Amino acid sequence: MVNVDQKSAAHRISQLSFDAVITTDALGQIQDFNKAAETMFGYGKDEVIGRQVAMLFPDYDTSFKQFSKDKSFSSLVSRMDKERETFALNRSGDTFFVLLRTHAQTDVENEEILFIFKDLSHDKESDSERVKLLYFDSETGLPNRSFLHKRLNEMISSQTVHGYLAMVDVWGLKELIGTFSHRVIRSFVQGYGRRLIEKLPLGSSVYSTGPWQLSVHYQIPAHETVDIHQAAEDIFNCIRAPLPSPQGNIYSDGLVGISDLPASAKTSSEFIERADIALHLATGNPSDSFAVYDPALGERMRYRTDIGQRLHEAVDEMPFRMVVQPQFDMSTGQIIGAESLIRWPTKKGNYISPAEFIPIAEALGLIVDLTDWSLNQACRTLSYWKENGVEDVKLAVNISAALLTKDNFSGYLIGILRQYNVAANMLELEITETALMQNVDDAAKTLADLNEHGFTIAVDDFGTGHSSLSYLKLFKINKLKIDQSFVKNCLEDPTDLAIVETVIRLGHALNLRIIAEGIETSETADKIKELGCNIAQGYYYAKPFPVEQFLEYREKHIAAQ
């Protein structure tokens, strides 16, 4: 308990202090302002008594504006950092770097907070201008990513972690380049930042963390419960509303990725990573205005990042292996082809699934390197088969959309064939519907050129992409490959069976041969054969195996017939 004599003594001591000492009541109204404070801030004591202490902090720092709404003194103090480096604001409107210490003192009748400011702006290691350059975006005046890390780490060290962290991509501003100068567009970003500061709960803070990105620490008011989805909507609505400016109303949109702030986190990077992952999820779902961090998704993203890094190294070393899965003529039972499949062995002896690394390779632009490797391996294999008297088995290679649109793709392929002395009709190119439809005109020209050179073209995963009948007329193709998702369950699902039957009839009407992949049981094989399918592929016949074993497997199959 603090009595009157103790208060009087404390007042006398504060007047002798070289640091600025300011006393407020529980609502942040200034009750005392020592001589050092008058010198530091440029105000006389009479000018500030009764005013809010928030006046001594920049607009973007709303930490102390919450006094006017938060009447729970003990709750407020418990959520405040007891000591932190921050910026203060003097009478002239200049900011300067300070060490701020806060201390609560209470008696039966009164509650007070003591603010002690130590000016760091003249400290050689904390030069004010240097700190501004380090912690603030020079164009918007908003705190930057470094300041965000600093504040989050301070919260962690003082065990005052609370609220949510959101990453916000502001859409539409980039399209204004050419209409407005870069400086004006950045002022719009500043405008959105200041609106967020004004509209969000007191104590929230906003940071400029990218050309079109803002980060928001969303403060949850004391004694209130704000659902994370509501917090995300609050932020999104601030971005979505028209922004008044001297150039007129600016209309924009945005995406929000938001995460809670777990007390278990050890570093600021953990918080920021969670919000970044949520923003990535929102970017992948543009129909939704925001996304909330999901721990399972976080693990998945980290795994994908790891695979991506390892892929870059693998493309240089090419540790991949080729396996093949035979294809059978359903009328004769003979092996007439095989699909080449890429496998990526790890140092531990297991394999990373193509379903895992192929999409990542496509996203990173590495799929061209992998496809080039696959084509060379396939042609080398065909050359070896040819030397061993096997020239009636086609080997299929999956072709990426990126390579399909390569200039003079047919010339590139012919160059590889000549290198290994292999005929074009021995190589089958499997191309997905999606790849063909990315650039229809160019794809049509490329396929026509490939057809003239004698390559066999199969449309892979038929039925899962665009499935437009018009392109079957437009593209020069030889085969349709029914996706295994329809084949596997065709005996149990009438819809799948109807699709399989329709594709087979359609293909035959267009004089195309039909391949069914994913046949895993004898019953499915019998049904697919009954429907008139030409070629079968699947585990029922043979699982993929190392390419080096193919000729031996083929000989045993012939002997067994």
Is the domain of 402 the same as that of 483? yes
Q: Which residues pair with 103 in a beta bridge?
A: 114
Predicted local confidence at residue 297, as pLDDT? 76
The alpha helices in 293-388, defined as continuous H runs, are 295-317, 354-364, 367-387
Predicted local confidence at residue 6, as pLDDT? 47
Q: What is the CA angle 158-198-26, rounded to 5?
A: 50
- Residue pair 161/155 in contact (Cβ under 8 Å)? The answer is yes
- Residue pair 100/84 in contact (Cβ under 8 Å)? The answer is yes
Is the domain of 278 the same as that of 349? no
Q: Which strand (E) or helix (H) includes residue 268?
A: helix 268-284
Share of the chain above pLDDT 90, in %: 43
Is the domain of 344 the same as that of 394? yes
Predicted local confidence at residue 373, as pLDDT? 95
What would the pLDDT profile of 428-478 be if each residue is shown by its tens digit? Answer: 999 887 788 777 888 888 999 999 999 999 988 786 655 567 777 888 899
With CA atoms as reference, report the closest residue to 474 among 435, 442, 500. Answer: 442
* CATH of residue 177: 3.30.70.270
> CB 514: neighbour CB atoms within 10 A?
25
DSSP 8-state secondary structure symbol assigned to residue 244: -
Is the domain of 450 the same as that of 490? yes
SS3 content of the chain, % helix, strand, coil (to 5): 45, 25, 30
Residue 96 φ/ψ, nearest 5 degrees? -145, 155
With CA atoms as reference, report the closest residue to 61 among 138, 123, 147. Answer: 147
Task: Tokens 């193709």: give the residue.
Answer: 477
Domain assignment present for residue 88? The answer is: yes
Segment 92-111 mean pLDDT:
77
**Amino acid, single-letter form, for residue 30:** I
Is the domain of 160 the same as that of 197? yes
| 0.75 surpassed by pTM | no
Predicted local confidence at residue 285, as pLDDT? 67
β-pairing, 335-345 vs 394-398, is: parallel
Distances (CA, A) of 273 to 166, 229, 269, 525: 11, 19, 6, 49
Rounded-to-integer distance, Cα 455 and Cα 265, Å: 57
User: Which of 258, 293, 328 is the last residue in one of the domains?
Assistant: 293
Is the domain of 373 the same as that of 472? yes
Per-residue confidence band for 403, with pLDDT thresholds at 50, 70 and 90: confident
Predicted local confidence at residue 1, as pLDDT? 45
Instruction: State which residues form the domain around 17.
Output: 2-123
Sorted by sequence, the CB contacts under 8 Å of residue 284 that are 6+ apart come out as none
Per-residue confidence band for 294, with pLDDT thresholds at 50, 70 and 90: confident
- Residue pair 411/436 in contact (Cβ under 8 Å)? The answer is no
Rounded-to-integer distance, Cα 319 and Cα 377, Å: 12
Predicted local confidence at residue 9, as pLDDT? 44
Helix (H, G, I), strand (E, B) or coil at 10: helix
Domain assignment present for residue 305? The answer is: no
Rounded-to-integer distance, Cα 367 and Cα 355, Å: 13
Task: Tokens 């003192």: give the residue.
Answer: 105
- Residue pair 535/329 in contact (Cβ under 8 Å)? The answer is yes
Q: Cα(first)–Cα(last) distance of the chain, in Å?
A: 99
Question: Minimum mean pLDDT among 40-54, 210-224, 329-343, 463-477: which range?
Answer: 463-477
* CATH of residue 457: 3.20.20.450
Is the domain of 322 the same as that of 280? no
With CA atoms as reference, report the closest residue to 153 among 311, 43, 59, 268. Answer: 268
Rounded-to-integer distance, Cα 11 and Cα 19, Å: 13
Domain assignment present for residue 303? The answer is: no
What would the pLDDT profile of 376-400 be if each residue is shown by its tens digit? Answer: 999 999 999 999 999 999 999 999 8
Of residues 396 and 204, the one with the higher pLDDT is 396
Segment 314-335 mean pLDDT:
94
What would the pLDDT profile of 51-76 be if each residue is shown by its tens digit? Answer: 988 889 886 666 665 554 444 444 55
The alpha helices in 158-216, defined as continuous H runs, are 182-199
Is the domain of 322 the same as that of 351? yes
CA-CA-CA-CA torsion sign (131, 136, 137, 141): negative
Is the domain of 141 the same as that of 170? yes
User: Which of 88, 123, 158 is the last residue in one of the domains?
Assistant: 123
Structure tokens at 351: 């394999």
Q: Which residues pair with 30 in a beta bridge?
A: 24
Per-residue confidence band for 544, with pLDDT thresholds at 50, 70 and 90: very high
DSSP 8-state secondary structure symbol assigned to residue 29: B
Helix 295-317 with 354-364: angle, nearest 10 deg: 80
DSSP 8-state secondary structure symbol assigned to residue 69: T
Is the domain of 151 the same as that of 46? no
Rounded-to-integer distance, Cα 444 and Cα 447, Å: 5
- Residue pair 207/214 in contact (Cβ under 8 Å)? The answer is yes
DSSP 8-state secondary structure symbol assigned to residue 180: B
**Amino acid, single-letter form, for residue 539:** Y
Domain assignment present for residue 299? The answer is: no
Domain assignment present for residue 359? The answer is: yes
pLDDT over 60 (residue 355): yes
β-pairing, 83-89 vs 95-106, is: antiparallel
Domain assignment present for residue 419? The answer is: yes
Q: Which residues pair with 445 in a beta bridge?
A: none
User: Which of 69, 89, 123 is the last residue in one of the domains?
Assistant: 123
Number of independent structural domains in the chain: 3
Q: Which residues pair with 100 in a beta bridge?
A: 84, 117
Domain assignment present for residue 301? The answer is: no
With CA atoms as reference, report the closest residue to 393 among 535, 508, 519, 531. Answer: 535
Task: Walk across the sheet containing 95-106 and list its strands.
Answer: 30-33, 20-25, 111-119, 95-106, 83-89
* CATH of residue 74: 3.30.450.20
The alpha helices in 390-487, defined as continuous H runs, are 401-404, 409-420, 433-437, 440-452, 469-474, 484-487
Is the domain of 260 the same as that of 371? no
Predicted local confidence at residue 128, as pLDDT? 58
Domain assignment present for residue 298? The answer is: no
Is the domain of 285 the same as that of 329? no
Per-residue confidence band for 80, with pLDDT thresholds at 50, 70 and 90: low
Helix (H, G, I), strand (E, B) or coil at 425: helix
Rounded-to-integer distance, Cα 271 and Cα 257, Å: 12
List own/partner pairs for 416-419 with CB under 8 A and 24 or more apart: 416/375, 416/376, 416/379, 417/379, 419/379
Per-residue confidence band for 242, with pLDDT thresholds at 50, 70 and 90: confident
